[in-house]
Amino acid sequence: MDEKIIESKKLLEKRSLELDKVSSRIAFARLAVFVVALITFYIGFKGHNLLLVIVSLGMIAGFVLLVRYHGTLDEQVLDMKTKSGVINRYLMRNSGEWKSFTDDGSQYLSLDDHLSVDLDLLGPGSLFQLITIAHTPGGKKRLADTLSLKKYRYDEISDRYDAVNELSGRADFLIDFEALSERILEKKEKDEKRVSLFDSDDESSSKKEEKEKKDIKTFPAWMYILMVFVPLFNIAAICMVLFGGFNPGHILVSYIVGLVLTWGPLAIHTSITEPLREYGSGANDYYKILKLIADNTFESVHLKEVHDRTVSKDGLLDAIKSLGTINACENIAFNPLIHMVLAGFVGWDFYISFAVSRWYKKNGDIFDDCIDIVSEIEELGSLAVVSLVRNTVKPEISKDNRILVNGAFHPLLNKDTVVANNADISDKLTIITGSNMSGKTTYMRTIAINMVLAYVGAGVCAESFSVPKMKLFTSMRIRDDVSGGISTFYAEILRIKEMSEYVAAAKKDETLVPAFCLIDEIFKGTNSADRIVGASEALKKLSAGDSIVIVTTHDFELCELTTQDGTAAANYHFEEYYENGELKFDYTLKDGRCTTRNAMALLEMAGLV
């Protein structure tokens, strides 16, 4: 895949440079035409020469066409640059540079979302940061909620996997889709900066005015009169100068009157055109995205449903396209000079407001459907990225209460150096011991993050992966809360209490799936005597019923634990080895408890012993 997309990236960059040069020439040409048109227009009126006036009007029409053509070229250049950026991000995912991506989902990470913190599902260096192709707010939120398992959707896993797997086989579709969705965000940010130049510095009054304008969507009847009056009044003034011998100054008077009448109800204009400011800049790209979906055929049930919603929704494509046309007309007036000319002579703002009002009256909340469709593809497409940048397999959701994994590796680690491990866990309690930095915590995270991928319908990073339906609980990165008076030790107690309450509830309620509890260095925040006693009691409670518990520890006393029904805990370990006097690790899980230690070696390496 890398070679193919590298070649595509080079071609895009070459074509983009060529179009940039053409765009620069067109920009100069349209400026020249506009200046010559104004001079010709002035000379024609000054000498009452109708032919020159007609020529100048033709040149103005040519100027408008050049503006449109220049806009089309800019669109093509932006499209190629954005697409090149998308391709580059895929290359960065493969090379390990993805941690520089700006969007890591931190805005959706709450303090009580322990699973996302412990498993790096959201935030810096997270699964979200690695795979996201979402650029719309709805798509980002949807992906964040999915990855953090806000809702377990066990019944949808099969259909979702089929959809994600199909998308992972359509890299070209995903690249085109992401490029278009990214442009929506870029244009919205650009428009917000452009509009802010004309906004009032009084933020409070602006917000108050915005609140008052929210409900105005209908085009007032008196605006119809002004919409017709302004251009007719100017036409009359021009005719009087040309044919009646009036002083050309009358045109300036009529222009100023038109400008005052057009810009007088600016607050109402702004209110009516709110949908244009909200969605207009991205309307053409939304249309292209929907068209991209509509023009493709899909095999999976889930994607077929999305496709049918796109093509069968009455007027969806036409509505989005018409809003894009209105926005294109509005963009002509973003040049202050052109806006003044159009507003004063033809009452341009009235026509934009009228068009938006009619659009809103006919289409209402149709954009909600559009955004929902785009968000869904962004979410599923992001999950498909896992299989594009990592070797994955289809997970099996088994009915047995057993985790059976072969060759599983962590998706966030360097794919060229990551060590794969196996797991065959059916015991209610598993104790993992091992020296520092040997891989105990990474092993637990590897199993858990792949379980997350399995439950959300993505491919998993393993040679084979079979897990039952379970609810994940973690206690790994424990943080104290100074303001709340909660120590690290007590924070861990609260975590384990939450697990215990769910395990107890699951024993009584058959509709609840078993718990899968992962605890790193249990009760490390207290003294060894209390830790061993407390951990023993807690682990017996957690391993009750059908729940499965994996715990790492340096306390070998815990290796002798038995569950409430008398079953001995399973023991595994990681260990270090020495080569040429250097401490090294193979990061491979082994049977039994650990028999080595490396704390003193690490202290010596640090120069402390």
Task: Point out the least confidently predicted range of 26-30, 31-35, 603-607.
Answer: 603-607
How many Cα atoms are found within 13 Å in the side-chain-facing hemisphere of 406?
5
pLDDT at 209: 44
Phi and psi based region of residue 364 (left: phi greater than 0; alpha: psi -120 to 50; beta: remaining): left
Residue by residue, DSSP assigns 361-420 as HHHTTHHHHHHHHHHHHHHHHHHHHHHHHS--B--EEESSS-EEEEEE--TTS-TTTPPP
Alpha helices in 199-297 (DSSP H): 203-213, 221-244, 249-263, 266-272, 274-275, 281-294
Residue by residue, DSSP assigns 75-117 as HHHHHHHHHHHHHHHHHHHHHT-GGG-S--SGGG--TT-HHHH
pLDDT at 9: 67
pLDDT at 153: 92
Distance CA 381, CA 378 (A): 5
Q: Judge whether residue 245 has pLDDT over 90.
A: no
Closest CA to 42 of 24, 20, 60: 60
**pLDDT over 90, % of the chain:** 47
Distance CA 553, CA 429 (A): 13
pLDDT at 196: 52
pLDDT at 313: 65
Distance CA 180, CA 286 (A): 8
What stretch of H or E contains 596?
Answer: none
Q: Which two tokens stand for residue 527?
A: 């003294």
Secondary structure of residue 472 in the 3-state scheme: strand
Q: Judge whether residue 343 has pLDDT over 50.
A: yes
pLDDT tens across 179-217, in order?
988 888 776 666 665 555 445 444 444 444 444 444 556
**pLDDT over 70, % of the chain:** 89
pLDDT at 207: 44
**Mean pLDDT score across all residues of the chain:** 86
Cβ atoms within 10 Å, residue 197: 7
Q: What pTM, to 2 d.p., does this model score? A: 0.83
Most confident residue range from 28-32, 169-173, 341-345: 169-173
Q: Which residues have CB under 8 Å from 9's CB, separation 6+?
A: 84, 87, 88, 91
Cα–Cα separations (whole angstroms), residue 33 to 39, 57, 65, 262: 10, 11, 11, 27
Q: How confident is the model at residue 47 (pLDDT cuts 50, 70, 90)?
A: confident
pLDDT at 191: 60
Q: Judge whether residue 503 has pLDDT over 60.
A: yes
Closest CA to 381 of 391, 369, 373: 373
Q: Cα 268 vs. chain centroid, distance in angstroms?
A: 34
Going by the DSSP 8-state scheme, the letter that residue 552 receives in this structure is: E
pLDDT at 158: 95
User: Rounded mean pLDDT of 17-24?
Assistant: 81
Cα–Cα separations (whole angstroms), residue 444 to 161, 433, 448, 460, 533: 24, 12, 6, 15, 23
pLDDT at 281: 74
Q: Judge whether residue 483 has pLDDT over 60.
A: no
